[in-house]
Amino acid sequence: MSSFHWFMHRRLRSSIKFLGMVVALCLLAALATLGVRSLLTSVGAAKHIRYEPVDVPPQEISPRHRKEREEYERRERVVTEKSR
């Protein structure tokens, strides 16, 4: 075989490797794009079902908490009466 044949064979192999790498990178980019798209879609949909806390008092209120609550209510009444 001539040196020209070896040169063309080596060039063909390097071209195939290069094209394979380009195709692999394109597939990886497509997968990353789909992943980012699904992530953005799920984040966008999550705002509609986000948790909103509800202010529900407990069933049993301890005497200490009851006294604190009465004190706060008393202070609030005093402040509202003064502002009138």
pLDDT in tens, 63-82: 888 888 899 999 998 888 87
Query: How large is the average pLDDT for residues 40-47?
Result: 71
Distance CA 68, CA 84 (A): 25
22 domain-assigned = yes
Distance CA 75, CA 84 (A): 15
- The whole-number pLDDT of residue 29 equals 96
17 domain-assigned = yes
Count the domains in the chain.
1
42 domain-assigned = yes
25 domain-assigned = yes
16 domain-assigned = yes
- The whole-number pLDDT of residue 20 equals 94
72, containing H or E segment: helix 63-83
Residue 1 lies in domain: 1-49
Query: How large is the average pLDDT for residues 3-32?
Result: 85
65 domain-assigned = no
Distance CA 38, CA 44 (A): 10
20 domain-assigned = yes
- The whole-number pLDDT of residue 62 equals 78
Measured distance between the N- and C-terminal CA atoms of the chain, rounded to whole angstroms: 108
Answer whether 0.75 is exceeded by the pTM. no
13 domain-assigned = yes
